[in-house]
Amino acid sequence: MIYLLLQSMIGNEIKTARDLLLQNEVVAIPTETVYGLAGNALSEIAVSKIFEAKNRPHFDPLIVHVGKISDVELYVEEIPELAFNLMEQFWPGALTVLLPKKSCIPDLTTSGLKEVGIRIPNHPITLELLNSLSFPLAAPSANPFGYISPTSAQHVEDQLGEKIPYILNGGYCSVGIESTVLRVQDNEIEVLRLGGISLESLHRFTPSIRIEEHSTSSPASPGMLTSHYAPKKPVYVGNIRELMTSFSSQKIGILSFKEDYGVFGQRILSTSGNFTEAASHFFAYLRELDSLEIDVILAEFLPDENLGRAINDKLKRASAK
């Protein structure tokens, strides 16, 4: 009985999720990138509950999710042409665009910033949910602040299960890493967070792409905090064979790109070296390794291209002290 009371519900009832959201509650929702912890983006009560459940600092703004492109103009002052072209090309999908917000979006949602990050997620259940509501959903990744992002309903349950009433189950996230966050200025794209849409695919729209440098103190996008996505076990990134020698006296786990190191606690992101497959496994494997009886996680960088670049960025943050 007590066991039952402590469980938050995992289910696939869109109506249950909707009813809770209408009451200013928070609900975990599936997206193609990672699971989000959603609440009414226009409600300070709901947004406060999101920050509280995640233990998230209030300086870190939330992404606002909408169900269709025509909704965007309800929440932003203007949409530059390049931004609109990107939205048309990549939505629904792993792209978040920063745009000047209208005053109906509370300052709490954007942490006092004048821009709001907006995206249409590509998941049928969540699209149906969004299109059944008269408000957009603020949703950060559904993990405690600083920890690994969840790519299944069970991941959410494991960490936030006692803090939220409902987890809408949409299976495993197909992309597996978060959205790319960017803003446009004139004909330039400024990327604040590398993610599921690669720089290569953005390059088709403009030759000038700038990547915001990391910062720990006053991050332009707090997903850029140096230490983030961190498992509890220490992570070392480098040449795995050399690391294996250095850590020979300890119990090691390995996260490799495609090579088999013949070790028990090992996860191979993609034996065929496919970046998309590697991204879809990345967070889940990091979590699995973190739960093994090992002392350290040894990992290697992927080639710095395509989604490999975004994964490398996360590896750097996961290993930062």
Q: Does 174 bind ligand TXA (CB under 6 A)?
A: no
- Return the one option of Mg ion, ligand TXA, none that residue 289 interacts with (CB less than 5 to 8 A, by type): none
Beta strands in 71-201 (DSSP E): 95-100, 115-119, 137-138, 166-168, 180-185, 188-193
Member of 71, 107, 115, 212 binding ligand TXA (CB under 6 A)? 115
Taking a C-beta distance cutoff of 8 angstroms, is the pair 281, 270 a contact?
yes
Note the maximum CA span of the chain.
Answer: 60
Beta carbon of residue 200, minimum distance to ligand TXA (angstroms, whole number):
19
- Return the one option of ligand TXA, Mg ion, none that residue 181 interacts with (CB less than 5 to 8 A, by type): ligand TXA
Q: Which is nearer to Mg ion, 34 or 298 (CB)?
A: 34
Q: Does 300 bind ligand TXA (CB under 6 A)?
A: no
Beta carbon of residue 248, minimum distance to Mg ion (angstroms, whole number):
35
Q: Decide: residue 112, CB within 10 A, 0-12 exposed, 13-18 middle, 19+ buried.
A: exposed
Going by C-beta distance under 8 Å and a sequence separation of 6 or more, which residues neighbour residue 213? none
- Return the one option of ligand TXA, Mg ion, none that residue 34 interacts with (CB less than 5 to 8 A, by type): ligand TXA
Q: Does 190 bind ligand TXA (CB under 6 A)?
A: no
Beta carbon of residue 272, minimum distance to Mg ion (angstroms, whole number):
28
SS3 185: strand
Beta carbon of residue 228, minimum distance to ligand TXA (angstroms, whole number):
8
Helix, strand, coil share of the chain (percent; to 5)? 30, 20, 50
Going by C-beta distance under 8 Å and a sequence separation of 6 or more, which residues neighbour residue 306? 198, 200, 275
Q: Does 179 bind ligand TXA (CB under 6 A)?
A: yes
Give the residues lining the site for ligand TXA (CB under 6 A): 31, 33-34, 36, 60-63, 96, 98, 110, 113, 115-117, 121, 139-141, 178-179, 181, 192-193, 221-223
